[in-house]
Every structure is written in structure tokens, then in C-alpha cells.
């Protein structure tokens, strides 16, 4: 029996090489060099793979089908520009296929490579078509520049951002040159003191995150549908009938391949979605799932209001939590109201990734969670006013103490926070974002170490703010009135 047509390879191609036969020898060497590299630049990393017609279209294959499959399976399309290529019909078919779907190259799949600008055989210059005139291309015209240009190309294929210049000694700075807030004649007793100050916020800046988002069609429509097939895997989200993840779906050993159509795996740089409001929300949602998995390995639970809180010990006793050499804190404790009702108070926080301008960070909003049994949150009418009223009594130092505590809990005794994703980890600063000011209140400073040393029984203070009954029936209206009228 004749051999069946070559099937679509399981591995995703990194680069489709669009070229003309006149440049075949040069393109072959380029293909060999690309496949000698790895995706992460390490010796044991996944080898890069190209779609090159000599290697990927076998005798008897349907050429059009193989080209279409190659274009679909490739993360990038490298267009090798020369006068012959621009005049030939087959390369034009390939690059116009991509341009028709993405006219402005917003997804960044096209990598223009300028190989030759003049053809002696055709006696003509290369006239760039409109789609390429606005694109930043890689110059391979001088053989002496091959290594430099090749590194630039591989950096793009690896989804790495361009390197910035090295830091130099400043030549225009003015040390200690601070502009006064007011003139001396305008100073009053209410004016701020001219002392430097540091203002800490409740945002933990993200320093690094995965550069590639992988996706493929799936029949699953709910999160649990995937978990019925794959119990343990990297985190994912389901959108647009596809599964999206930071894990490399082209790897045969990736568990999530069992829940997708592994013949239609694709990927894009995460940066390609940075300006797409809808798809960037998918990225943030995926990051939040990774954060939930990170906290799920600790004795911490998340409720329906997206609040994370510490659980009691397994034997039902109060839990004391200690981060490194910090003083221990009671994070879950059983209390009683003056009416004799038992309940639990927990250290809690709303934690979520968010984007503020160009800053990607984890936002920490400390709170207290009240439960009936150490596990089930109280939802009675008295609980909401209690949380708001007690939270309003906290001073800045107390709130900052909670923020630093949660940051150190996320770090798990490491110098920085690393959240695993199945691909490149999300790296987050363990120090909240801050701003420097040239004014403040003199002598009104507090050190981080002394801040952490303040371990008063905050849960007891919270419990004492609750009076009356904490029942969740209609009688809770009386408790609400007492709480708000105190």
C-alpha cells in the first residue's frame, strides 16, 4: 500500500520560513542554525523547530494542505525578503495568508528578514509591499552582521523583550537639590516638616512573569470538566472554546494535552495581548488562579467573596502563624460575644493581581473574616457593619503591619515571592511599592522590624467589637442596630 500523507507533527513549529527558491541555500543554513538553538537558551531546553519545505513537505504530500498546516502550527512566520521572493507567487500566498488575518501584525507573528535589496538576475530593487513598510525588520544583508542579526531574531522567537542599555554614571543630577514646598514667609504651624519620608502602599510589584501564553481548542466548558480528565496540572482558564495556560502545551509530557486538541496547539507572546482589554483580563484571571494554587498549599481558605483567611489547626485549636524570625501571630481564634455565642475570627485579605497603568502588581486589602465554626463564613446582617466599623478604627501602622505580614506569608521565607505557573514563574517583590517624599511629619516614623513586633491580640479586639447575637436569621437586625449605634 502507498504511504499515507505525512500527518501534522505533534510539536508546535516555532518559525515558518517563507522564502523563494533563489534564496534556498541561505535559508537552509538559517533553518539549521535555528534548530540548533533551544527555546530557553539552555543545553537541555526544548529545541526550536522550523517549518522548512525541504524537510516538512514529503513526496506525494498535498502541498497546499501542508503549507496551510505549517502556517497554522507555527508561532512565527519569518518572511525572507528579496526581489525574487517579492516577485514569486508561492511566497506571496504564504505571507498574504497571515496579513489577511492580521493586517497590522498586531499579534506580532510576522518577522520580516531583509536578505537582499537588489537582484542581478531580475535587474531590479526590492520594493517592499505596504504590510512590510511599517514593520521593524531584521537586516541580514551584510554577511558580517549575521550573528548579531540572528541573535535579534532568536530573542524574538524566544518571546524575550529587547535588552535595554547599561546604566551609566549620571552627568546631569543635582545632589541634595530639593525644591521647598513653600517660601519661609508662608510657613505656618500646619505646614509639613521638611524631612524625607517613604510612603508604603498596598501593592506588591510584579518583577517578571511568563512571556508566552499557550492555547488549543477543547471540548471542556467548565473548570471541573478539565479536572475530571486531568486531576493535577498547571493552572488554566477556559475562554472562546479554548484552554489557555502558561504551561508549554507542545510538550508530550504536559498533562493538559489530555484535555485539548493537541494537533492544534498554538502560542503567542503575552505582550501581544497587553493592549487588548478583553484578552488581558484572561491573562490576569490565569495569574489569579496561579495565586490561588500558591496559597492553597498553606492552611488558607478562600470564600465566595474572594477573601483568603487562615483556618484553625486540624485539632480545632487556635492557629498561630510565624514567618521566619518574625514574632508569631494568632491568625485564627475562637471567641464569644457578650451574649455567649461562639464564633471564630480570622486574619484575612483580598489578594488579586491587577494592572494600574503600566504597573502589574498584587493588591493586598487586609480584612477580618468571621466564621461560625472556623470554616463557614458568617453572612448575617450584623457581620458587614461590624467589619466596616472595626476596620475604620485601625491606624495606618496597623494596616501596614497586615500588608507586610501577608507579603511575607506569600514569600514563604524566601527573599522574593515566586508563584509557579507551569511555565516561567511569576516573580513578585516582597516589599510593597513605595514613593519618596521630601516632606512629612518629623519623628513620626516607624521601622519595619518594630512594626512586626507589635503583636497585640488583634483578634480579641475585633471580637470585643461585636455585641449581641451573631445569628444569621431575621433577628440579626437588632444586632446590627447595636453595632452601629455604639
Mean pLDDT value across residues 114-128 = 76
The answer on 279 and 133 residing in a single domain is no
pLDDT of residue 363: 93
Mean pLDDT value across residues 5-21 = 70
| Grid cell in block for residue 75 | 508561532
Residue with cell 491568625: 331
What is the percent of the chain with per-residue pLDDT over 70, rounded to a whole number?
78
Mean pLDDT value across residues 271-287 = 93
Mean pLDDT value across residues 143-156 = 91
Enumerate residues 6+ apart whose C-beta is below 8 A from 463: 335, 336, 337, 343, 345
Cα gap 160→253, rounded to integer Å: 24
Q: What is the mean pLDDT of the chain?
A: 80
Confirm whether 258 is domain-assigned: no
Residue with cell 517583590: 429
Enumerate residues 6+ apart whose C-beta is below 8 A from 25: none
pLDDT of residue 125: 76
Q: In which band, very low, low, confident or very high, does the pLDDT at 307 lie, cut at 50, 70 and 90?
A: very high
Confirm whether 180 is domain-assigned: no
The answer on 327 and 459 residing in a single domain is yes
pLDDT of residue 425: 95
pLDDT of residue 391: 47
Confirm whether 354 is domain-assigned: yes
Confirm whether 227 is domain-assigned: no
Say which CATH number the domain at 63 has: 3.40.50.10140
Q: Supply the range of the domain harboring residue 425.
A: 205-211+273-485
| Grid cell in block for residue 467 | 455585641
Confirm whether 34 is domain-assigned: yes
The pTM assigned to this predicted structure is 0.59
Q: Which of 241-245, 307-311, 469-473 has the lowest mean pLDDT?
A: 469-473
Please, where are the H alpha helices in 158-237? Answer: 223-229
pLDDT of residue 390: 44
Confirm whether 225 is domain-assigned: no
The strand ranges marked E within 235-388 are: 237-239, 242-245, 266-269, 300-302, 307-310, 319-321, 329-336, 342-356, 359-371
The total domain count for the chain is: 2
Higher pLDDT, 185 or 204: 204
Contact 214, 268 (CB under 8 A): no
Residue with cell 512590510: 132
| Torsion sign (Cα): 95, 99, 105, 106 | negative
pLDDT of residue 12: 75
Cα gap 95→112, rounded to integer Å: 10
Confirm whether 402 is domain-assigned: yes
The answer on 150 and 283 residing in a single domain is no
pLDDT of residue 484: 26
Confirm whether 226 is domain-assigned: no
Q: In which band, very low, low, confident or very high, does the pLDDT at 362 lie, cut at 50, 70 and 90?
A: very high
Cα gap 333→353, rounded to integer Å: 29
Residue 456 DSSP class: -
Phi first, then psi: give them for residue 359, nearest 5 degrees.
-90, 125
Cα gap 252→232, rounded to integer Å: 16
3-state secondary structure (DSSP) of residue 146: helix
In the β-sheet with 74-81, what is the strand arrangement from edge to edge?
A: 50-51, 13-18, 74-81, 110-114, 138-139
pLDDT of residue 275: 87
Enumerate residues 6+ apart whose C-beta is below 8 A from 89: none
Residue 262 DSSP class: T
The answer on 289 and 141 residing in a single domain is no
The answer on 435 and 293 residing in a single domain is yes
The answer on 295 and 149 residing in a single domain is no
Q: Which of 94, 128, 157 is the last residue of a domain?
A: 157
pLDDT of residue 380: 65
Amino acid at each position: 500500500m502507498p504511504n499515507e500523507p505525512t500527518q501534522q507533527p505533534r510539536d508546535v513549529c516555532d518559525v515558518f520560513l517563507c522564502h523563494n527558491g533563489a534564496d534556498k541555500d541561505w535559508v537552509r543554513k538559517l533553518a539549521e542554525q535555528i534548530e540548533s538553538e533551544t527555546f530557553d537558551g539552555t543545553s537541555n531546553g526544548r529545541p526550536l523547530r522550523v517549518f522548512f519545505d525541504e524537510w516538512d513537505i514529503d513526496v506525494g504530500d498535498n502541498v497546499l494542505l501542508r503549507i496551510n498546516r505549517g502556517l497554522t502550527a507555527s508561532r512565527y512566520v519569518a518572511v525572507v525578503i528579496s526581489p525574487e521572493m517579492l516577485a514569486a507567487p508561492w511566497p506571496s500566498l504564504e505571507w498574504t495568508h497571515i496579513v489577511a488575518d492580521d493586517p497590522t501584525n498586531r499579534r506580532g507573528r510576522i518577522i520580516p528578514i531583509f536578505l537582499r535589496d537588489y537582484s542581478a538576475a531580475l535587474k531590479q530593487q526590492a520594493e517592499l509591499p505596504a504590510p512590510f513598510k511599517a514593520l521593524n525588520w531584521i537586516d541580514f544583508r551584510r554577511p558580517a552582521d549575521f550573528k548579531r542579526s540572528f541573535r535579534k531574531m532568536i530573542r524574538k522567537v524566544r518571546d524575550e523583550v529587547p535588552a535595554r542599555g547599561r546604566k551609566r554614571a549620571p552627568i546631569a543630577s543635582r545632589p541634595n537639590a530639593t525644591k521647598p514646598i513653600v517660601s519661609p514667609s508662608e510657613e505656618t504651624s500646619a505646614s509639613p516638616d521638611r524631612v524625607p519620608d517613604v510612603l508604603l502602599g498596598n501593592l506588591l510589584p510584579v518583577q517578571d512573569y511568563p512571556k508566552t501564553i499557550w492555547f488549543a481548542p477543547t471540548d471542556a466548558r467548565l473548570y471541573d470538566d478539565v479536572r475530571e480528565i486531568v486531576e493535577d496540572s498547571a493552572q488554566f482558564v477556559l475562554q472562546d472554546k479554548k484552554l489557555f495556560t502558561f504551561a508549554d502545551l507542545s510538550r508530550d509530557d504536559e498533562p493538559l494535552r489530555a484535555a485539548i486538541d493537541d494537533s492544534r496547539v498554538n502560542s503567542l507572546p503575552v505582550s501581544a495581548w497587553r493592549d487588548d482589554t478583553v484578552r488581558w483580563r484572561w491573562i490576569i484571571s490565569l495569574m489569579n488562579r496561579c495565586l490561588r494554587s500558591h496559597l492553597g498549599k498553606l492552611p488558607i481558605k478562600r470564600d465566595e467573596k474572594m477573601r483568603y483567611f487562615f483556618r484553625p489547626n486540624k485539632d480545632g485549636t487556635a492557629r498561630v502563624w510565624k514567618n521566619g524570625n518574625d514574632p508569631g501571630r494568632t491568625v485564627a481564634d475562637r471567641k464569644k460575644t457578650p451574649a455567649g455565642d461562639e464564633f471564630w475570627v480570622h486574619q484575612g485579605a483580598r489578594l488579586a493581581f491587577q494592572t494600574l497603568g503600566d504597573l502589574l502588581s498584587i493588591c493586598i486589602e487586609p480584612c477580618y473574616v468571621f466564621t461560625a465554626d472556623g470554616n463557614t463564613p458568617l453572612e448575617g446582617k450584623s457581620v458587614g457593619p461590624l467589619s466596616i466599623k472595626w476596620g475604620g478604627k485601625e491606624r495606618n501602622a496597623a494596616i501596614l503591619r497586615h500588608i507586610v505580614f501577608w507579603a511575607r506569608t506569600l514569600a514563604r521565607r524566601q527573599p522574593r515571592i515566586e508563584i509557579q505557573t507551569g511555565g516561567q514563574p511569576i516573580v513578585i517583590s516582597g516589599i510593597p511599592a513605595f514613593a519618596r517624599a521630601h516632606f512629612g511629619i518629623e519623628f513620626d516614623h516607624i521601622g519595619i522590624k518594630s512594626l512586626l513586633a507589635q503583636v497585640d491580640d488583634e483578634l480579641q479586639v475585633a471580637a470585643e467589637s461585636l455585641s449581641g447575637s451573631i445569628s444569621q436569621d431575621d433577628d440579626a437586625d437588632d444586632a446590627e442596630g447595636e453595632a452601629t449605634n455604639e
